[in-house]
């Protein structure tokens, strides 16, 4: 973890950033967070800073807000820092994973915050930078690390995991019904040569897919998702991050989460529902204060992008938005 981040220099202009990064559900996100950011000295956290599109809009809309931006990707932090340069007096950009939020706030001397945004999943930049290996449509080294400075790559996972472990992550993280078939094919093929490029992995998966299923979507989609989740430990990080985020909120602070696949959304839904439900035992004549819900849900279920946004920004198609406001501190 470090305040401000360096990293490799990418030749991007501000026009490039606007072109490759259209923030998902931007207006709705601003609308939901706005009531908690009106007070003087309010603090908002963008836990997944990315290229800074949501953060830029929040800072423009709220001239008195201080923003803390977190990202594990040093390249994204560098680009977001350029985008937010004019707001540097009221921003702290931190190289950290979002489950490190309590440590980040402690280091910055911030006791509580008024708004928190999570825009989960892989970023526009990570998909568009071919050499990161996130996109199955581009042949590239199988890296897939959101933080390229640490941890095992996807190639290392494919080289070292047993057939059983590969099957497990494809099934659990990719919800792939051909998990066993794909795991067996990978273990067989890696004996001939290392699987270190996305193109070869796609070829192996395509060859292992029964002909009757080849028109049912790209055979690599779910496997690539599963590998990315495993490499970055996305679900275990999220399971720690959402409770920590709720705990960091001030009373009447608000949390907005944008999730792009069902596994993420399930974690978010479970924690928000738990914290928005009374813990009073059945049959009590009155609800004691310590049993009252900590959160109030701000949307019914999960909101989806409308047809207009989907047409304008294809990456909004799978999004599920959930939001909540903190009503009281935990006992």
At 189, which CATH number?
Answer: 1.10.150.170
Measured CA distances, 265 to 108, 110, 249, 268 (Å): 29, 28, 20, 5
Do 153 and 223 have their domain in common? Answer: yes
pLDDT at 8: 37
Q: Which residues pair with 254 in a beta bridge?
A: 115, 325
pLDDT at 137: 79
Residue count (the chain): 331
Dist. CA 274–CA 270, nearest whole Å: 6
Residue 139 DSSP code = -
Radius of gyration of the chain (CA): 21
Q: How confident is the model at residue 82 (pLDDT cuts 50, 70, 90)?
A: very high
126 annotated binding-site participant:
yes
How many separate domains does the chain show?
2
For the chain, where are the E strands, in sequence order? 2-3, 43-46, 66-71, 91-95, 113-119, 249-259, 295-297, 320-326
Domain contains 179: yes
54 annotated binding-site participant:
yes
Cβ partners under 8 Å of residue 235, min gap 6: 173, 229, 263, 264, 267
pLDDT at 147: 92
Residue 116 has pLDDT above 80, yes or no: yes
Do 105 and 6 have their domain in common? Answer: yes
Domain contains 101: yes
Do 15 and 119 have their domain in common? Answer: yes
Domain contains 131: no
Do 224 and 244 have their domain in common? Answer: no
Do 253 and 121 have their domain in common? Answer: yes
pLDDT at 216: 73
Domain contains 168: yes
Among 34, 106, 93, 96, which Cα is nearest to 65's? 34
Measured CA distances, 182 to 168, 197, 302 (Å): 11, 16, 32
98 annotated binding-site participant:
yes
Which is more confidently placed, 134 or 67?
Answer: 67
Do 52 and 102 have their domain in common? Answer: yes
pLDDT at 183: 98
pLDDT at 1: 54
Domain assignment of residue 279, given as a range: 2-125+234-326
Q: 238-276: string of b/e by CB count within 10 Å (b at 16+)?
A: bebbbebbbebbbeebbbbbbbbbebbbebbbebbeebb
Task: Give SS3 for 111.
Answer: coil
Task: Give SS3 for 14.
Answer: helix
Do 155 and 206 have their domain in common? Answer: yes
Dist. CA 80–CA 154, nearest whole Å: 26
Residue 182 contacts residue 201 (beta carbons within 8 Å):
no
pLDDT at 110: 98
How many CB atoms are located within 10 Å of the residue 3 CB?
13
Of 232, 250, 270, the one marking the end of a domain is 232
Domain contains 331: no
Among 218, 103, 208, which Cα is nearest to 163's? 208
* Choice among 44-48, 93-97, 145-149, 224-228 with the minimum mean pLDDT: 145-149
Do 6 and 121 have their domain in common? Answer: yes
Do 117 and 6 have their domain in common? Answer: yes
Measured CA distances, 51 to 14, 19, 125, 165 (Å): 10, 11, 7, 34
225 annotated binding-site participant:
no
pTM for this predicted structure: 0.89
Residue 143 contacts residue 197 (beta carbons within 8 Å):
no
273 annotated binding-site participant:
no
115 annotated binding-site participant:
no
Residue 93 contacts residue 80 (beta carbons within 8 Å):
yes
Residue 222 has pLDDT above 60, yes or no: yes
Do 66 and 162 have their domain in common? Answer: no
Dist. CA 179–CA 167, nearest whole Å: 5
233 annotated binding-site participant:
no
């Amino acid at each position: 973890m470090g305040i401000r981040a360096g990293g490799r220099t990418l030749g991007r202009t501000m026009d490039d950033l606007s072109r490759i990064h259209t923030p998902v559900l931007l207006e709705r996100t601003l609308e939901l967070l706005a009531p908690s950011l009106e007070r003087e000295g309010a603090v908002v956290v963008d836990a997944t800073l990315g290229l800074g599109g949501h953060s830029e809009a929040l800072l423009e809309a709220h001239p008195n807000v201080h923003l803390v931006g977190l990202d594990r990707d040093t390249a994204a932090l560098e680009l977001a820092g350029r985008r937010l340069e004019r707001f540097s007096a009221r921003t702290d950009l931190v190289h950290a994973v979002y489950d490190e939020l309590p440590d980040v706030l402690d280091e910055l001397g911030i006791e509580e915050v008024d708004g928190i945004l999570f825009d989960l999943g892989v970023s526009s930049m990570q998909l568009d930078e071919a050499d990161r290996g996130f996109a199955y449509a581009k042949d590239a080294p199988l890296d897939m690390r959101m933080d390229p400075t640490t941890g095992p790559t996807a190639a290392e996972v494919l080289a070292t995991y047993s057939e059983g472990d590969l099957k497990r992550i494809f099934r659990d993280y990719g919800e792939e019904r051909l998990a066993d078939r794909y795991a067996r094919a990978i273990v067989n093929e890696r004996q001939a040569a290392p699987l270190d490029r996305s193109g070869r992995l796609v070829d192996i998966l395509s060859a292992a897919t029964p002909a009757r299923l080849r028109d049912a979507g790209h055979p690599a989609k779910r496997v690539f998702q599963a590998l990315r989740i495993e490499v970055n430990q996305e679900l275990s990080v999220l399971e720690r991050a959402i409770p920590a985020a709720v705990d960091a909120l001030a009373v009447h602070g608000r949390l907005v989460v944008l999730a792009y696949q069902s596994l993420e959304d399930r974690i978010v839904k479970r924690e928000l529902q738990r914290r928005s439900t009374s813990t009073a035992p059945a049959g009590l004549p009155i609800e004691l204060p310590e049993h009252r819900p900590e959160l109030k849900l701000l949307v019914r279920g999960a909101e989806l992008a409308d047809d207009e946004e989907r047409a304008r920004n294809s990456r909004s198609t799978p999004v599920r938005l959930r939001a909540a406001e903190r009503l009281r501190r935990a006992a």
